[in-house]
Structure 1
């Protein structure tokens, strides 16, 4: 048995695979997000307990011994730990918006672009650079108490194995890594005003770190490899490694990835270049802030169950009777294929005659247009694979093929966990049939007439988006979120989704 662990934003999963890559079993636990005034945090102890629980459940259900385990998880955010790997404070999520005002100043004074020109990665409020700088200004005691600022999977790996704090080149790509040297760029650290906090950056293990399990959730001595994080792990699990080929992850975030053998540090500062385990190869990534989370919000607001989506899409024509959605619902704005912390979602064309089906279809179409924008910006020229919770809807997958105007290689199952196993196997020298492990389960072709209709719709979407960005820029930076209140204040809201569609 080969085990892949995927520590997602709202769902922690562990999947078991046999030697041929067939998925044998999955165990999952939901974890909460605490939201307050644009601040989004997670309880690290809850996350780690969920990892241990799903591993214990999985190994109890599948009797074969564990050959090795691979670990992946959500990227970005700040996970401050002490010398023992224990949390210093709640983790600041990649969805966090507290640093948007700081990022706005960096956009205005040139710091943002200067960092992109050195790293190929465009910062956003929930990435470690702005978050660490915000904490240094507003919560320095937390940084003083921390031994390392790691990423989600790094915290889990440290606790599962007892290995020293470390990260890998994929997580380190945002925002401090020089993609050419695969090492931290100290000039970037200085530009962000964090030179005095340089010691908090976890050492980069290249190739990914390995260690034996201590016995929590997995048998003692089980071989584990740490990384890459969920986006490149999904690319590995979907077989996206050749330059020009791409992957669209339709999850909580809408992530477009294209494999490349070249760096473009001179283009528009947007997206990121994710370093991979192959020097000289990167993933040009456009990870939009909101994917299925936008649809989840619309479903919750209108009282529509997930099980009703396919029927509503089938009963509503392309164009949704004139209803349009710009799906930028994240409290921290958008980060790809452009950066605009002040951008917010827009719903137009609604009348008393509009139906729930119109709202659902318009949201799905808006997310599809956002995906096309990201893939175009990332330089897609080859085949396109898709995965993620959104692809569990056959009707939405067909809609995406029409909006994108190209065939979709659908990769089902726990793709990130699969990629984590393949990365672990490569690190440990275990021979697996990668082609068999990454075989698509279906290919969905676009309908020519609908694809032509959506090509026109995409041009209209870009025009509406351009106008919305101009309005956001004129509005200026909104007030910064306040810190999470202390004792006696209203507690932050904790979200526990009924169904995770996270990546």
Structure 2
């Protein structure tokens, strides 16, 4: 039995897999988000307890051959030498470093950092959060021994081993040329004197053995950490070859494509996440829009998720002329362009527009946004899909039509946890005593093919969408001058 532990932002999940990749059991428990206003924090001890609870539940008293940890990336989790928190964890959703990031963008620091690392700054990433604490709360950094991401703190508490993997190290301090922390990146954020807080980067993955005080986990159980949830989900979906991509239809759209090199010269947007292979990077463009935009319009029209299929069938493609822009986040958009002023819109409305037309227009616009991101990331090969939005076959068909390509529905359940187990065997197979059949573990649950007539329709509709995006952004830039 191989267990993947996925430390999500609001839910912790554990999935137990048999050697052939079939799921034996899945357990989950919610965790809370705290803070106020732009400050979003998590209780480290609550999260650790949730991790041990789902591990004990999913193993059911059996000894697993492996526990592989993945989870939310970014944020900042400060702990002492024993892995105990010195303050609540700062979530990747935290916005208190927003003004600091704006300063670094205005003075050109953010662009210089992109040329060094291939990754943008955003308020919830470790660099800006460290810099904010160094400026406003230095006593917390003085008390800490490690500043890491969620999964690495869980690994530390389970095994006593301190470390991180290349994917979490990527943003924002990793120099992908040397695959070590960049002194220039640390200096650019004024954090050279805090470099000792960064955990060592494992050549493959952090690896240790469970200590005897972990409930439900026998002493000596092998435990690995990483990659974090975006690249782990790609591995779990079988996305490993250049040009292939993964679309995660979740609260936000996480669009990723495997690339062979970091595009240092490109416009500063998105991330290049390092992998175990120096010639493989995950080009990640995580948009702020996603199912959150669909949730909003359902709330406006008084609809529910179980009505989406019927609404998509009721309204024809093109939504009877109603069109939308899905940029509903108060912080604007971050992929495939960075624009804090980006805002959502509905156009083409008249008294004949129905509730279904509004829902279909938003679903189409989210699919257009996914295509925009995937094209910017360099998608040329096969595309896999997963996430909560992928449960709607009607919406998946719409995505396939807009993207003009088949969608491989990632094998369930829990592709992130599945990918963490596969990454562990790729990195530490000799220590773990064997190999796994990767093709069997990643065989898609289904393939959704596009409809040729709809593909032709959406080619023009997508061109119209791009024009509306540019027109809207230009209007807002003019208003702010």
Q: TM-score, normalised on structure 2? A: 0.93
Structure 2 residue aligned with 1:177: 174
Q: Match for residue 326 of structure 1?
A: 325
1:77 to 75, 78, 83: 75
Over the aligned positions, Cα root-mean-square deviation in angstroms equals 2.0
Contact 1:289/1:336, CA 8 A, preserved across alignment: yes
Q: What is residue 259 of structure 1 aligned with on the other side? A: 258
Q: What secondary structure, in the 3-state scheme, does the structure 2 residue paired with 1:256 have?
A: strand
Which region of structure 1 is more displaced relative to structure 2, 92-101 or 225-234?
92-101
Q: CA deviation at 1:420?
A: 0.3
Say which of 145, 164, 167 aligns to 1:167: 164
| Whole-angstrom CA distance in 1 between matches of 2:385 and 2:97 | 31
Q: What residue in structure 1 maps to residue 387 of structure 2?
A: 388
Correspondence for 1:124? 122
- 2: CA distance between counterparts of 1:35 and 1:340? 26
Q: 1:81 to 1:350 in 2, by over 3 A?
A: farther
1:457 matched to 2:458: no
Q: Which moved more, 1:382-391 or 1:29-38?
A: 29-38
Once residues 450 and 112 of structure 2 are traced to their aligned partners in structure 1, the CA distance between those partners, rounded to angstroms, is: 41
Displacement, 1:445?
A: 0.8
Identify the match of residue 148 of structure 1 among 134, 146, 149: 146
Match of 1:437 among 413, 438, 441: 441
The equivalent residue for 1:190 is 187
The answer to whether structure 1 residue 342 and structure 2 residue 341 are counterparts is yes
- Answer with 19-28 or 450-459: which moved more: 450-459
Which structure is higher in RCO with an 8 Å CA cutoff and minimum separation 6? 1
Structure-1 residue corresponding to 2:273: 274
Matches within 5 A, 1:11-410: 11-34=11-34, 36-60=36-60, 65-164=63-162, 166-214=163-211, 215-351=214-350, 353-410=352-409
Q: Distance in 2 between matches of 1:426 and 1:331?
A: 40
- Matching residue of 2:471: 467
Residue 35 of structure 1: how far off its partner (Å): 5.9
SS in 1 for 2:34: strand
Whole-Å separation in 2 of the counterparts to 1:294 and 1:242: 31
> 1:350 Cα shift?
4.3
CA contact 2:63–2:217 (8 Å) conserved in 1: no
Question: CA separation of 1:142/1:463 partners in 2, compared to 1, >3 Å: closer, same or farther?
Answer: farther
Distance 1:70 1:169 in 2: 15
Q: Does the CA-based 8 Å contact 1:258-1:285 persist in structure 2?
A: yes
Separation of aligned partners in 2, 1:13 and 1:438: 19
Match of 1:416 in 2: 416
**How far is the alpha carbon of 1:301 from its aligned partner?**
4.5
SS in 1 for 2:241: coil
CA apart distance, 1:279: 2.2
Structure 1: distance between partners of 2:341 and 2:139: 29
Flag the 1:167–1:436 CA change in 2: closer, same or farther, 3 A: same
| Partner SS for 1:190 | helix
Deviation of the 1:314 alpha carbon: 1.7
Deviates more, 1:462-471 or 1:123-132: 462-471
Provide the C-alpha distance between the structure 1 equivalents of 2:359 and 2:296, rounded to a whole number of angstroms. 10
Cα distance per residue 1:40-60 (max 9 Å; x no partner): 322222222221121111111
CA 145–464 in structure 1, closer or farther in 2 if over 3 Å, else same: farther
Number of corresponding residues:
474
After superposition, the C-alpha distances for 1:311-360 in whole angstroms (9 at most, x for unaligned) are: 22222222223333322233433222222233333344445544332232
Task: Give the gaps of 5 or more residues in structure 2.
Answer: none
Are residues 90 and 129 of structure 1, via their aligned partners in 2, closer, same or farther at CA, if it must alter by over 3 Å? same
Deviations 1:457-498 (A, max 9, x none): 222222222233334545669xxxxxxxxxxxxxxxxxxxxx
Which whole-Å CA distance do the structure 2 matches of 1:40 and 1:253 have between them?
17
- Range 416-425 or range 453-462, more displaced: 453-462
Q: 1:77, 1:94 within 8 Å by CA — same for their partners in 2? A: yes
- Gapped runs of 5+ residues in structure 1? 478-503
CA gap 1:54/1:261 in 2 versus in 1, 3 angstroms? same
- For residues 280-308 of structure 1, the C-alpha deviation after alignment (integer angstroms, 9 at most, x for no partner) is 21111111123222223333454422222
